[in-house]
């Protein structure tokens, strides 16, 4: 007796095996080209962050800002400059412009 099984399409199928998805194997040349593109992308991204770090005011004694610190400081700085431009009261402390860094040990993040 032939058993009735439901295939992937939902129809009854007793003789066909489910189709295996074939993974495309990248050639060595394709992989190298992809690696080069990724290196260029990361180089351009790092260069853009370095340019932003030079534009955002920081304290001279601080170590190099991380990407997230750079973005947060840039947002705060732009907000501060916008308020100055629009003539809003400038009742800011240095900690508002230069937020304190909070370091969380990596083990506590996960």
Higher pLDDT, 23 or 96: 23
Sequence-ordered alpha helix ranges (H) in the chain? 28-55, 67-86, 94-97, 106-109
Q: Is the pLDDT of residue 107 over 50?
A: no
Q: Is 73 exposed, middle or buried (0-12, 13-18, 19+ CB in 10 A)?
A: buried
What does the pLDDT read at residue 5?
Answer: 54
pLDDT of amino acid 34: 96
Residue 14 pLDDT greater than 80, yes or no: no
Q: What is the pLDDT of residue 10?
A: 54
Residue 76 CA to residue 80 CA, distance in Å, equals: 6
Long-range contacts of 23-29 (CB under 8 A, 24+ apart): none
What is the pTM (predicted TM-score) of this model?
0.55
**Average of per-residue pLDDT values in the chain:** 77
Give the percent of the chain with pLDDT over 90: 45
């Amino acid at each position: 007796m032939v058993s009735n099984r439901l295939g992937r399409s939902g129809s009854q199928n007793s003789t066909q095996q489910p189709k295996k998805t074939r993974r495309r194997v990248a050639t060595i040349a394709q992989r190298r080209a992809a690696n080069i593109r990724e290196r260029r992308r990361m180089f351009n991204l790092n260069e853009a962050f370095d340019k932003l770090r030079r534009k955002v005011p920081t304290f001279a004694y601080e170590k190099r800002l991380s990407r997230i610190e750079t973005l947060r400081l840039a947002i705060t700085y732009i907000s501060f400059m916008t308020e100055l431009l629009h003539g809003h009261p400038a009742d800011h402390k240095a900690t508002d412009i230069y937020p304190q860094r909070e370091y969380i040990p990596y083990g506590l993040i996960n």
